[in-house]
Structure 1
């Protein structure tokens, strides 16, 4: 069983390695020896449902505007970062019990994707989220990656999990990761970045594959937290 890995979230300028504006090259997560996506990872694999988890004691968080709610483990915390929120939106950060940033939830984002180039695409996990359907279309939770070691051999693969309204890529390549979904009059994001060589306090860095990370308790907890997002009662 692999050790617990680090997952962190950033703002729009860097979060999810998205292309809010055209970058000069593939985004960098770390200069450490992060493994590239394996050949197996480049074949999209879909897990239909999350593994069971004892959620009887999980807590529920409702956003300050009363619009959305999600569940999270009892030893985790939610930090309100309202000063960094988009006008009329919310910005909260989900932290593990050790204080590691697991994901951020933002709403009322006014931006649009850019696609300066396409890179080899990997899909480790996917699940449709009917509770967040807008105009008849439901977004998906995905854990995905991009790899461009052919052009940038020293750059690690970009890996992220979150909710997206973007259509699935066709073929083996895709635009840079842009995990936003339609919500209200703008876009929202509930997502995080996966970096296997960044450790939280008390953890040891351990390079591993993104496929192996999906077998960990940490991944199950953050997956179930994100996929529990729903309109508040």
Structure 2
């Protein structure tokens, strides 16, 4: 599986999982993309006390903290020992945020970006797997409710076992695929003024420090505390109160 995923679909564009320990992005086969170029400028965000909760987060787990983006528009919860790099890179000239969440070993858990402009065409579909899915009504926009998903795409043309399967988790506004094949993974969701992303990549071939031991399948990974924490963090994303 590729060490890093670029998410694409019939109406989306790639997004890097962020800086800090991530490889350069590679485009999924069969898709063309178009993304607005980020400009200079950065914004600084702050952590809220663990007791600070907002709509969409019913109960803050013990030992967790709440993070609110520097523009005051979004909040999410995360384990207290995880850190946030803000900004994780250049943000669009028109504004937006770009933050990366890391575990104590420095491994990237997920990145959040807003004010993203996307556009792509799906030219090749691949066998897919939907491992996990949950609607996120707190992020509903214009009658559309995005979903948290953990999904896979299979490249039957690849000869390297590490590149045969792409696995990623994140929030998407795309309809759930039907039938045996689907466009490349599209982890972008509708958010003013255009779109946003909050997600990351699962790489069972990654042996760098900080990974759960003895995990080599997505099903096994879903049972780890790391995945459960990532899932709880991403699904806690909501408009800041």
Runs of 4+ in 1 over 6 A off after TM superposition: 7-11
Higher mean C-alpha deviation, range 199-208 or range 136-145? 199-208
Higher mean C-alpha deviation, range 179-188 or range 153-162? 153-162
CA, structure 1 residues 207+216, in 2 after alignment: closer, same or farther (shift >3 Å)?
closer
SS in structure 2 at match of 1:64: coil
* CA distance, structure 2, for counterparts of residue 110 and residue 20 of structure 1: 21
- The aligned runs of 1:63-212 (5 Å cut-off) are 63-81=69-87, 83-87=89-93, 88-149=95-156, 151-154=157-160, 155-201=163-209, 203=211, 206=214, 208-212=216-220
Deviations 1:44-84 (A, max 9, x none): xxxxxxxxx98122000000100000000011011102642
CA contact (8 A) 1:115 1:175 kept: yes
SS in structure 1 at match of 2:121: coil
How many residue pairs match? The answer is 197
In the superposition, the TM-score normalised over structure 2's length comes to 0.74
**Are positions 1:22 and 2:28 aligned together?**
no
* CA distance, structure 2, for counterparts of residue 65 and residue 55 of structure 1: 25
CA, structure 1 residues 85+79, in 2 after alignment: closer, same or farther (shift >3 Å)?
same
Deviations 1:96-127 (A, max 9, x none): 12111000000000112321200001011000
Structure 1 equivalent of residue 65 of structure 2: 59
CA contact (8 A) 2:76 2:236 kept: yes
SS in structure 2 at match of 1:93: strand
SS in structure 1 at match of 2:226: helix
* CA distance, structure 2, for counterparts of residue 232 and residue 54 of structure 1: 15
CA contact (8 A) 2:115 2:193 kept: yes
Higher mean C-alpha deviation, range 164-173 or range 151-160? 151-160
CA, structure 1 residues 17+137, in 2 after alignment: closer, same or farther (shift >3 Å)?
farther
SS in structure 2 at match of 1:160: strand
* CA distance, structure 2, for counterparts of residue 160 and residue 81 of structure 1: 22
Gaps of 5+ in 1: 1-6, 24-52
* CA distance, structure 2, for counterparts of residue 20 and residue 71 of structure 1: 34
- For the aligned residue pairs, the C-alpha RMSD in angstroms reads 2.7
Gaps of 5+ in 2: 8-13, 18-24, 33-58
Q: Offset at 1:232?
A: 0.2
CA contact (8 A) 1:67 1:232 kept: yes
The one of the two structures with greater contact order (alpha-carbon pairs below 8 A, sep at least 6) is 1
CA contact (8 A) 1:61 1:70 kept: yes
Q: Offset at 1:17?
A: 6.3
